[in-house]
Structure formats: structure tokens, C-alpha cells
Chains A and B, each alone.
Chain A
Amino acid sequence: MYYIDPHIHMVSRTTDDYETLAKMGCVAVSEPAFWAGYDRGSSAGFRDYFEQLTSFEAKRAASYGIQHFTWLCINAKEAENVSLSREVIAMIPEFLDRAGVLGIGEIGLNKNTRNEATIFLEHLDLAAKTDEQILIHTPHLEDKYQGTRMILDMLTGDRRLDRSRILVDHVEEHTVRWVLEAGFWAGMTLYPVSKCTPERAVDMVELYGPERLLVNSAGDWGPSKPTAVPDFILEMRSRGHSEQAIRQVVYENPVKFFSQSRNFTFEAPEWAEAEVRHP
């Protein structure tokens, strides 16, 4: 089964991981900008990061036949520094026309503070003015429910935003319904330690249906498994779900969502097209 990982931080993975992903059927990845594990000292650090995301990383992926797409922003953790965040937000438009840039992300909340909310709103304003899609990070653990509800309040409070062009990631059992019912796309992140397992992700597909649901590995510098999407595919199969239903979640949904970005120049491999036409 060919698939797309819609949220994976390849800058923190090795080239061997690209090879493994390619062997497992991954044909494209989308990489949101995020926290590097330490706070960057200046906006120049972000400029270099955006450069890496939009040039080097795409080449590294291409050498394994994987198409690489990306999203730009200052992440929620560093958004606590409001003046730095404003410098970064002012710089983002320079990169928005680059190949493979799908929009603004992953913006969100981390500890649900006032500063984080301020910078989240300023990113929304940038996305609205530049007509960009948005990819959202929801907080983890005890902050997730509160943070997700706050994020939804801010999104639904801005009438300029088109909900079908916004993906809210890291949904779990207590947040997925709120996101889908409000008309947004929802992403389930499969993480070995703190977050959702493939089994629980399949439970959510069974409960809410495959419409507007995506599944990703988030693979980053922490304990994570870049091949988590194939684990999800296997779990779907073992429960008797059709190949068509699986493909909808891991391939067709990401293509449909990303196609709303002007820089989504994805070329579907021939076999994938054939799979879609003649399941």
C-alpha cells in the first residue's frame, strides 16, 4: 500500500529512515516547522531552518523517490517569546512561494498561555492575508483538551478562515469529535510513548468514519517511530477493513487536503493512480 505521511519531522531523522520509508511505500511526506529541542537565539536561526526545510530536505527525500512538502511558522513553545515570534512571522512571506511550501504550521498552543495565544492569532492573520492553508499542533497530555478547545475558539472566531483548509493534528479520543464536528480536518499522531497507538487510531476511524481523518507518525528527535503509518495500515487490515477504506485515510485524504495548496505539486506514481482507479 502506497501512503503519505502528512506530519513527520524529517530534519531530525537519518537518511536511513528515508530509505526505510520508501521501502514501506511512503511516496510523500509533509514536514511542519517545529521546536528543535532547544530555543533558537534569533530569527536568523529560523531563516536557516526554513532554508533547510525548503531546499536541502526536499533533495534528501527525492533521492529516495519521496516527495517532500513543508509548512512554516514559529512553533508554540518558542512563541512564548513574543518579540522573536513577530520577527519570524514577518520573515515567513519571503518563503511562501518556494516549491513545496503548503502553508503555515505547525502553529498551536503548548502550555496554553496568553503569549502563545497572541502569537497563534498573529499566525492566523498571516494565513488569512496570504490565503495559506494551516496545520495545527495541539498540546499534549493534561494540556490537550483545554488547548484544543482554545484553538477551536480562535479558529472559529476568525470568519476569514476556510475550515476545510485547516488540519488540526494530534487529536485523541477527547478532542477528535470537537475538531471534526466544527468542520476541520483532524490528524491522529501515532507515538510509541505518550500519545495514540495504531489500535486506538483505528478505533477512532471506526467511531467517526474516514472522512477528513489523517494519520501520521510525527517522527521527530524524541522517541518516535517513523514507520507508524504502516503499523496503522496493518491494524486496519487485521480488523478486516477494505483496502479502499485504508487507502482513503493514508493516501487519498492527504492528497485531497494538500491539493488545496498552490504549491502541492505532487505527482502521483502511476501504480498509485491505478490502485485508486481499480481497487
Chain B
Amino acid sequence: MSTDAASSELLDDEFLPMRARILELAASLDRTERAGQDFQEDPRWGQLQQAVELLLGAGTDRTERLQLLFSRPYQQKWREAWHM
């Protein structure tokens, strides 16, 4: 099977589940907005917006990049900082 045929077949399988998950996400965002405006100051809201923007980019490592977006940073010199 050519790669194109395989990817179109994969889309056959994935289209409805992805559509459903995007609708779930839209409904969660709507629900948050309906509850008031306070959330816009919350850094987590900004993180979610960045995450959605990341989804729109190209590449095959979106999951890893999303994971890092939601992660606390790692400092290489942590042992020195703690004198360990």
C-alpha cells in the first residue's frame, strides 16, 4: 500500500473520533466562557490557548511538544543549587 493510501485509510478510521474530541473540547471551552470572564486572567487559560495553536502547526511530534508545554521546566544544575 502506498503511504498516501495508508494515510487516507487511517483518516477514515480517525476522522469521527477526532471530530468527536474536537467537539468535546469546544463544549468545554464554551462551558468555561458561560461561567464568567474571570478565567481569562488564569495562566492555565493561556496555556490552553497555546496548546490549541500548537495543534494547528505541522509535524509528527505535536504530542511531545504539548506535553512539554504543560510541564514545569527542568534546570540542569539542580543538584548544585541544592548542594546535593
Contact = CB atoms under 8 A, between A and B. Distances in A.
B52 to A, nearest CB: 18
A173 B64 contact: yes
Given A114-B84, A118-B84, 15 more contacts: A112-B72, A142-B70, A142-B72, A143-B72, A144-B67, A145-B67, A145-B71, A145-B72, A145-B74, A146-B73, A153-B79, A173-B63, A173-B67, A174-B67, A203-B63
B71 A146 contact: yes
A231 to B, nearest CB: 15
Contacts of A121: 84
Interface string A128-170: 0000000000000111111001100100010000000000000
B78 A153 contact: yes
A174 B84 contact: no
Contacts of B79: 153, 157
How many interface residues does chain A have, given as a range?
Answer: 20 to 34
A200 B68 CA distance: 16
22 contacts: A112-B72, A114-B82, A117-B82, A117-B84, A141-B70, A142-B71, A142-B72, A143-B72, A144-B67, A145-B67, A145-B68, A146-B72, A146-B74, A150-B78, A153-B78, A153-B79, A173-B64, A173-B67, A174-B64, A174-B67, A174-B68, A174-B71
Contacts of A112: 72
Interface of B: 63-64, 67-68, 70-74, 78-79, 82, 84
Nearest to A148: B74
B70 A150 contact: no
A149 B73 CA distance: 10
A172 interface: yes
Given A117-B84, A118-B84, A150-B78, A172 B71 contact: no
8 tightest A-B contacts by CB?
A: A174-B67, A145-B71, A149-B74, A173-B64, A146-B74, A173-B63, A146-B72, A174-B64
B67 A172 contact: yes
Interface string A186-213: 0000000000000010010000000000
A201 to B, nearest CB: 12
Contacts of B78: 150, 153
Contacts of B84: 114, 117-118, 121
Contacts of A117: 82, 84
Contacts of B71: 142-146, 174
Contacts of B64: 173-174
A112 B82 CA distance: 12
A275 to B, nearest CB: 29
Contacts of A173: 63-64, 67
A112 B6 CA distance: 43
A157 B70 CA distance: 27
Contacts of A145: 67-68, 71-72, 74
A145 B64 CA distance: 11
A141 B84 CA distance: 25
B14 to A, nearest CB: 10
Among the interface residues A117, A144, A174, which one has the most CB atoms of the partner chain B within 10 A? A174
A195 B84 CA distance: 31
